[in-house]
């Protein structure tokens, strides 16, 4: 009798594990299919070479930001400005970056957010997941995330920010419609010569560097 009970329990447990693994596989497949779509009808994003990102990042006259002291100095001198959520976007809780940008980068971020809200809806917003990193923060991130840029990052010039395409309106979700709107406005700014973009598929985000 006990053997039969244990046998049934084992079968149920095994079936649950099998079903759970299958659900995970389906979700993962859907997510991979979702993140690989980067076009909206006639709109598409061109992946710009990272060398171009680095070249224009240095034009913001901020210089390589090595530590928090240099961030404070940048804010005092006006080379950096504090970044707050505005129309069309929110700022995620940041672990390896600070809520500051070069003035022009912040201006373009707000322009992107405003345009996104106009096409998606005035109450809709995307999530900025990374802003300015010190060289020290970049080094720490690289040691923990194999997908992070090795060496000097454009984030360390106050020129770049990352936008998640798996998080909209404060929720992690696979919202193709919202992603399409984001792609549309990024594509427009790219064609206008305002930004360079890289689709970081491993991190489900777009890396944007503002051209100056």
Q: Model confidence at 41, in pLDDT bands (50, 70, 90)?
A: low
The gap between the terminal CA atoms of the chain, to the nearest Å, is 77
In whole numbers, what is the pLDDT of the chain averaged over residues? 84
Per residue in 105-145, pLDDT (tens digit) is: 999 999 999 999 999 999 999 999 999 999 888 777 766 66
Most confident of the ranges 39-48, 79-88, 151-160: 79-88
Q: Model confidence at 27, in pLDDT bands (50, 70, 90)?
A: very low
Share of the chain above pLDDT 90, in %: 67
CA-to-CA distance for 163 and 127, rounded, in angstroms?
Answer: 6
The pLDDT of residue 138 is 77
The pLDDT of residue 151 is 61
The pLDDT of residue 149 is 60
Higher pLDDT, 173 or 56: 56
Across 171-176, average pLDDT: 92
The pLDDT of residue 133 is 92
Domains of the chain and any CATH numbers: 36-210 (3.30.1380)
The pLDDT of residue 174 is 87
The pLDDT of residue 106 is 98
Per residue in 78-115, pLDDT (tens digit) is: 999 999 999 999 999 998 899 999 999 999 999 999 99
The pLDDT of residue 73 is 96
The pLDDT of residue 184 is 97
The pLDDT of residue 148 is 54
Higher pLDDT, 166 or 22: 166
């Amino acid at each position: 009798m006990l053997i039969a009970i244990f046998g049934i329990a084992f079968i149920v447990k095994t079936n649950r594990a099998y079903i759970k693994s299958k659900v995970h596989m389906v979700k993962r497949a859907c997510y991979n299919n979702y993140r690989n779509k980067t076009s909206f009808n006639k709109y598409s994003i061109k992946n710009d070479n990272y060398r171009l990102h680095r070249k224009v990042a240095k034009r913001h006259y901020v210089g390589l930001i090595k530590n928090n002291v240099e961030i404070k100095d940048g804010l005092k001198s006006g080379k950096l400005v504090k970044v707050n959520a505005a129309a069309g976007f929110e700022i995620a809780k940041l672990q390896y970056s600070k809520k500051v940008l070069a003035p022009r980068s912040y201006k373009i971020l707000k322009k992107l957010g405003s345009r996104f809200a106009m096409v998606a809806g005035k109450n809709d917003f995307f999530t900025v997941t990374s802003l300015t990193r010190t060289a020290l923060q970049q080094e720490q991130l690289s040691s923990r995330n194999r997908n992070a840029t090795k060496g000097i990052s454009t984030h360390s010039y106050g020129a770049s920010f990352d936008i998640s395409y798996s998080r909209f309106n404060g929720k992690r979700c696979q919202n193709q419609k919202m992603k399409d709107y984001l792609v549309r406005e990024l594509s427009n700014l790219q064609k206008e010569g305002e930004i360079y973009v890289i689709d970081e598929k491993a991190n489900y985000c777009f890396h944007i560097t503002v051209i100056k």
